[in-house]
Amino acid sequence: MTMIELPCPAKINLFLNITGRRADGYHELQTLFQLLDYGDTLRLQRRPDNLLRLHPELNGVPSEDNLIIRAARQLQALYPQQTLGADLSLTKRLPMGGGIGGGSSDAASTLLGLNRLWELNLNLAQLAEIGLKLGADVPVFVHGKTAWAEGIGEKLSPIQTANSWFVVLKPDCHVSTAKIFCHEQLTRHSSPIKIAAFLEGGNGNSCEPLVRKLYPNVDKALIWLNQFAPAKLTGTGACVFASFQDQATAEAVCGQRPNNIDGFVARGVNTSPLHTALGIL
């Protein structure tokens, strides 16, 4: 195999409960990562040398800072005696700063794709451990299952969610995750809940009140979407979402969105399209 093309699916947080802050600055949390059947596309082509080339570079993100290249470098470092190079081409659909895991998903698809392309034979647990060094959301994309998460988001328990269609909207703003998690007004000590409590309706987001206060465009998007179904913030935002029982209703709602708001419709899935593409059960 010299070339492979893989999906990099989005995720949304069906809820987000921040329960504490660790000494190293990371936040303890509970969340439910819902995978979607919509995202970026990554094409990986093996090279006969050790060069890594990303096409195109993202605006404002130097190639060496991109999570795709950083993920590839992590794998290269494990096998310094081998010739491991690749051309990596990304078709970007997921907005940056949206809270839907675009960069983390790109990194996970890079890890799994190069593991297959370079014939490294690392297992998912090993790849997830590498991914955690790149970001707390990377392991869920590596493991490829919609999952209940605790710790800093790396302690995952697969969970089956009902078939739903989601309208995901991206207001015209960029929310800084670091800014939200460092803010003195962020609620950091919510009481932990059980999965059963979530299923009975415990589905808030500890970040939402602060994000709505600091980013009026997010607040406006939530108010607009809430006309059609209960609207929620995903992660630290800026994306907001609502669920619907069928595609037609979701498409109709998304088609009515204000002109200054991007958006898409996606189906919630319990197994990642990445795993389906690679034949991982």
For the annotated catalytic residues, the residue numbers are: 11, 137
Q: Read off φ and ψ for residue 265, nearest 5 degrees.
A: -115, 135
Token pair for 68? 């795709």
Q: What is the rounded CA–CA span in Å between residue 112 and residue 109?
A: 5
Q: What would the two tokens of residue 54 be?
A: 């990303």
The answer to whether the beta carbons of residues 157 and 172 sit under 8 Å apart is: no
Provide long-range contacts, Cβ within 8 A and 24+ apart, for 121-130. 124/280, 128/154, 130/71, 130/74, 130/75
What torsion do the CA atoms of 206, 207, 212, 214 make, to the nearest 10 degrees?
140
User: H-type helices in 205-270, by residue range?
Assistant: 208-214, 216-225, 247-255
CA distances from 24 to 27, 28, 66, 152 (A): 9, 11, 24, 11
Residue 67 CA to residue 31 CA, distance in Å, equals 23
